Amino acid sequence: MAKQVTIDAKGVHYTPLNQQIRKAIEDGADEIVVDNVLGQRFIGDGLRGNATIRVNGVAGGDLAMFMSGPTVIVDGNAEHAPGNTMDSGKVVIHGSAGDAVAHSMRGGKVFVRGDIGYRGGIHMKQYETQRPILVVGGSAQTFLGEYMAGGLLVVLGLDGAMKAREIGSGIHGGEIVIRGDVDDACLAAGAKKLPVTDEDRARIAPVIREFAADFGLDAEPLVKANYTRIVPASARPFAGKYTWE
């Protein structure tokens, strides 16, 4: 039988709050519900295993940093850098998130129903089959996918026009997939557009369907929509900037 633990975070500093969460997992909790969260940082950081953490409120910075395995579901917004350097697991945010979402993420999935701030997906990376995935339901701000070294970043733009400029600045691995057309003027130097092939669609469709299921959306119009795929123009985008003597 699944063991559920409920924690009231009202007025609790992030350090003892995270100690309570860790203790619950050590004691065998399968699901931890954290109520009245108001900006407490580092929730889920470094946790391992298969537990589910449900955050009711606004999650503070570095949610699920270094996490390996658990699922974190936020019924609200999240501050900066959820999924920072995450190894595996899943983060589902039913609101919007701040800057640097999925910063240096190495594996797992981060799904954000709303918008994200600046530098989403910065320095995402992958190793062999371990590939991080960031999906944004709304829009993203400037420097999306900056210095990406691997992974998949999808922006669906469900709530309005894409806002990002300088997309893919310094990208040298991975791919950015944006629903609809992307003006060439929005691309940073070192990024280029490619047509989305049938093979690309087949690879991306399961991710879109999973995202839609998590947020109660109709997946098929999203799967069938037109997309722009942005990839590195070079594996060494700044090679010409260096001076060798």
In a domain, 50, yes or no: no
Question: DSSP string covering 130-177, please?
Answer: B--EEEESS---SSTTTT-EEEEEEE--TTS-----SBTTT--EEEEE
In a domain, 109, yes or no: yes
**Distance from C-alpha of 67 to C-alpha of 73, rounded to nearest angstrom:** 13
Residue 243 has a CB neighbour count (10 Å cut-off) of 5
Tell me the torsion sign for CA atoms 44, 50, 51, 55.
positive
In a domain, 132, yes or no: yes
Q: pLDDT tens, 62-106?
A: 999 999 999 999 999 999 999 999 999 999 999 999 999 999 999
In a domain, 189, yes or no: yes
In a domain, 221, yes or no: yes
Is this structure's pTM higher than 0.75? yes
Task: Domain of residue 178: give its range.
Answer: 96-238
In a domain, 212, yes or no: yes
In a domain, 176, yes or no: yes
Q: pLDDT tens, 172-216?
A: 999 999 999 999 999 998 999 998 999 999 999 999 999 999 999
For position 232, which CATH number holds? 2.160.20.60
pLDDT band for 162, please (50, 70, 90 cuts): confident
> In 3D, which of 42, 34, 36, 54 has the Cα closest to residue 14?
42
Count: domains in the chain: 1
CA triplet 76, 79, 82: central angle to 5 degrees?
95
Mean pLDDT, rounded, for 121-143: 96
In a domain, 9, yes or no: no
